[in-house]
Structure 1
């Protein structure tokens, strides 16, 4: 993942950000509101393509392939780079169909038995199988907020992505549901590169191994999480984590 710039019309929203995201590692993006964390996250699976005035330049690669190459299909890219949003957003479909949606459109299952196995496996990895296995035909929207978010995580991993992006996945959840999702992030790291945008520095410290600090569209610092929180090398990072601004 090399140099990246993002423009909204004439506004230069992300300036020369360069980062290498590591496999089987949770990377946290922290920084004050409006500093570019979510904008940069959305570059990684081309969600910014959906915004007419947004323009992304630079060199963003997944497994050595430029994800902005015209030959790259954004739909296929999003199967490899899954995303979980701030507010749980299950489709108005059954729990089963929420998880089966991606594998169906990408043709990942030969038959019903294979699709059943993908759905069960994804719900198990998202730590929600035990709660929903007897009501897979019921609407996903009928679950609690924390269950809905874990269902959305199951939906995101059902296409066997390499990277999982999470944009403040706990901000709409209560403390118990937040703890469940944080535990789940620890487990997901065994199989995926996980990138999480969070407003909570405590959460970043709990779940991540690497942390990138964003400020006014630039990334002053990117390092091991322990170092960022104990001995940051940039004064802006120091001022942010000690509460001098936020």
Structure 2
């Protein structure tokens, strides 16, 4: 398994445009349980700043629906961004906008075959290379505290087998040589800052809808959508401007909200 040097916060700042570097508040930890938890404990940032918490080793990472997120020292890029949005900001489709930003960053680095799986998985050649976990806290008239967690596989142990779901992959299998984590993180943060700015400006998911649909790895394919114990089979038809999955079923087109719904290709 490839070994990637630890992240050097100073090097990340040097790789960013000056306009972003001076607004970046980067906290990098040797080890922590969860970067989302660490970020959630920080003071809310000023509207124009970007606060990020990352770690070389995350011991209790998690994904959607309380699933564990596995990562490996020196072979993962794990970090969380802390955003503050005005009360009433619609965040349902934020994972999708973040997914577009991550996909664009990988494409800019030279990765081909990048795709997205609704609502929060980043794919390369149909296998999962990363994921997004967004958590929010809100109080009446106070700004909404939003943490955007990102986990990216840089490499995988030779004996790794995913626990069900779609196959897993790593950037080292699709990008050679693999850039240092400083460079990867800087490229990702530029794109994520654009998402933050668009949501602060009140644009929401609209600027990302067309791009998300163009990256949809399952569009036009037969899929199963599970909501609790209920399963619905249909043809994936992209997402609408609120981020809902559109599904063409025998009874007509329906829209599925993110929530605890999961999507799988039809066996």
TM-score of the aligned structures, taking structure 1 as reference length: 0.28
By percentage of residues, which structure has more helix?
Answer: 1
TM-score of the two chains, using structure 2 as the length reference: 0.26
Q: Which structure has more RCO (C-alpha within 8 Å, separation ≥ 6)? A: 1
The structure carrying a bigger strand percent of its residues is 2
